[in-house]
Amino acid sequence: MNQTDVRVRFAPSPTGPLHIGGVRTALFNYLFARKHGGKFILRIEDTDSTRFVPGAEEYINESLSWLGLKIDEGVREGGEYGPYKQSERRDIYRQYAQQLIDSGWAYYAFDTPEELDSLRSQYEADKKTFAYDVNNRSGLNNSLKLGAQETLKRIEAGEPYVIRFKMPENVDVSVKDIVRGQVTFNTSTLDDKVLFKSADQLPTYHLANVTDDHLMKITHVIRGEEWLPSLPLHVMLYRAFGWDKTMPEFAHLPLILKPSGKGKLSKRDGDKEGFPVFPLEYISPDGDVSAGYRESGYFPEAVNNLLVLLGWNPGTEQELFSIDELINLFTLERVNKSGARFDPDKAKWFNHQYLIKKSDTELASLYKTVLADKGIEADKDFLERIVGLVKERVNFVEELWEQTWFFFQKPQGYDEKVVKKRWKGDVPAFILKLAYLFDSSEFWDAEPLKEMVSAEINKQEQNFGNVMNALRLALVGGAFGPDLFTIIEILGKKECAERIKLAVETLGSH
């Protein structure tokens, strides 16, 4: 394989938000292109005008941009094989549909939807399934039965028609799939699919897909396994056009499964179990809001890392990969055939790993935005110190607030269980003495402060555990937070004294 020849495409339809299954397909295409020094193309497949959703194309572009999957050729980027939007390629498809008609590989069909529905009903009544295929095409309302003259007459009269592929009878179609190995289909099981519709002068997915892949010189078609049943038709289209010598290689990726492992992951699963299935938040035309990984606090590199391991296996125990490592290691031969179960907890674990790998400076900058939304301004050095103390405890930047709020405001209340267990006897009075001890201290570093308090506890014959827990209660409102004396050092002498006095006033000194 000439390294510079690889050309792959991600070809979503602008019919709504991009599912993470689609994002994974884009990621695998991107990694394969970069690995081989090739081109990653974004093609918008908008031939189904009835399902078009305004804003969906922009959503696709923004999603790929957020994940760092740089597009080489596309609607925005341009390129020598455009247009990259199928609705702008109508004349091209009409020409190739006509080519199939002229070569005898396709035919005109005038059957109305009502006629087809009636046939389906008749077949169902006989407990059969209707298929428009080699067994009945000669008796239906099409050019094979009507003849050239009648067909032309109907077309000129403006009668609606479709162009159907004339699937040959009893031909084995065998293709090597990079993921699945050799796959074989027999054409006797296939119907005559619609390739083109006169009503909107647009092709169906099948004709547009094969034509575009050929004209755009796509070398590898990497797509989800839901397209595997379409493979024999696509192969037959390559043969019908005489393009079989330049037909791309195929790789059909496994499904992403529900957390239970039973069935394909859906938006409903995410709604039910509280995790996103879309890269970015999506607001539907009717106002329905769906969660996105970006808005839920995930880092793009964590999402890429999570998705690549849903179907691809590096062959080692390593789980964390930079994008450069993935480009270096990725091969389609290491993609699994069987579905990959989505684990929401593992998704959080990946984000945690990337969070703790970030520098305190970067995290402080991200956290500063969270605090700004709460009307809090804080010093950069101060923020760096506190995020460094607690980042191991959180999965998301937003969660830093739960672990650090007490550095910014006094407790609004006190944990009743801790009060009942620790705030008793002469402990409150002893803690009040500590406030004065702190006030007179000539030093303010965690370790000597701890030594000073420990010495005082021993001197007054207090219970070490009771005092430490009660002191923490007074300062943060409960039994949580990082090292107590680090908290004391960061809060400062004046703030610690105020908080201790406030706790004694609120809870009493017994």
Residues in CB range of 351: below 8 A, 6 or more apart: 297, 298, 299, 302, 395, 396
**Is the pLDDT assigned to residue 300 strictly greater than 70?**
yes
Residues in CB range of 373: below 8 A, 6 or more apart: none
> Is residue 330 assigned to a domain?
no
Q: Looking at residues 403-423, what average pLDDT do you find? A: 96
Q: Which of these three, 253, 283, 312, is where a domain ends?
A: 253
**Is the pLDDT assigned to residue 294 strictly greater than 90?**
yes
Residues in CB range of 489: below 8 A, 6 or more apart: 444, 445, 446, 449
Q: What is the mean pLDDT of the chain?
A: 95
Phi/psi for 34 (5° steps) reads: -65, -40
| Residues of each annotated binding site | 267
3-class DSSP assignment, residue 147: coil
- β-bridge pairing 39-42 and 7-10: parallel
- β-bridge pairing 194-197 and 202-203: antiparallel
Whole-angstrom distance, CA of residue 406 vs CA of residue 445? 19
Would you list the DSSP string of 437-503?
HHHH-S---HHHHHHHHHHHHHHTT--HHHHHHHHHHHHHSSS-SS-HHHHHHHH-HHHHHHHHHHH
> Is residue 329 assigned to a domain?
no
What pairs with residue 9 in β-bridges?
A: 41
> Is residue 445 assigned to a domain?
yes
| Active-site position among 267, 368, 410, 421 | 267
CATH of the domain at 91: 3.90.800.10
Two structure tokens written together for 372: 């700004």
pLDDT for 510: 54
pLDDT tens digit sequence for 237-255: 999 999 999 999 999 999 9
Residues in CB range of 83: below 8 A, 6 or more apart: 75, 89
**1 confidence band (pLDDT: 50, 70, 90):** very low
Whole-angstrom distance, CA of residue 337 vs CA of residue 344? 22
The number of domains in the chain is 2
Q: Which of these three, 253, 269, 286, is where a domain ends?
A: 253
> Is residue 18 assigned to a domain?
no
**Is the pLDDT assigned to residue 321 strictly greater than 90?**
yes
> Is residue 291 assigned to a domain?
no
pLDDT tens digit sequence for 93-148: 999 999 999 999 999 999 999 999 999 999 999 999 999 999 999 999 999 999 99
| Residues of each annotated binding site for ATP | 267
pLDDT tens digit sequence for 451-471: 999 999 999 999 999 999 999
Confirm whether 374 is a catalytic residue.
no
> Is residue 373 assigned to a domain?
no
Whole-angstrom distance, CA of residue 416 vs CA of residue 478? 8
Number of other CB atoms surrounding residue 505 within 10 Å: 10
**369 confidence band (pLDDT: 50, 70, 90):** very high
Domain that includes residue 229, residue range: 86-253
CATH of the domain at 471: 1.10.10.350
> Is residue 483 assigned to a domain?
yes
Question: What type of residue is 167?
Answer: M
What DSSP designation does 73 have? B
Q: Looking at residues 135-164, what average pLDDT do you find? A: 97
> Is residue 352 assigned to a domain?
no
Please report, for residues 26, 65, 203, 307, the alpha-carbon distance to residue 341 in angstroms, rounded to integers and kept in the order given: 19, 26, 35, 11
Q: Which of these three, 253, 269, 290, is where a domain ends?
A: 253
Residues in CB range of 225: below 8 A, 6 or more apart: 252, 253, 254, 255
Give the helix/strand (H/E) hosting 374.
Answer: none
Whole-angstrom distance, CA of residue 180 vs CA of residue 120? 34
Question: What type of residue is 402?
Answer: E
CA-nearest of 339, 326, 337, 273 to 300 is 326
pLDDT tens digit sequence for 48-105: 878 888 999 999 999 999 999 999 999 999 999 999 999 999 999 999 999 999 999 9
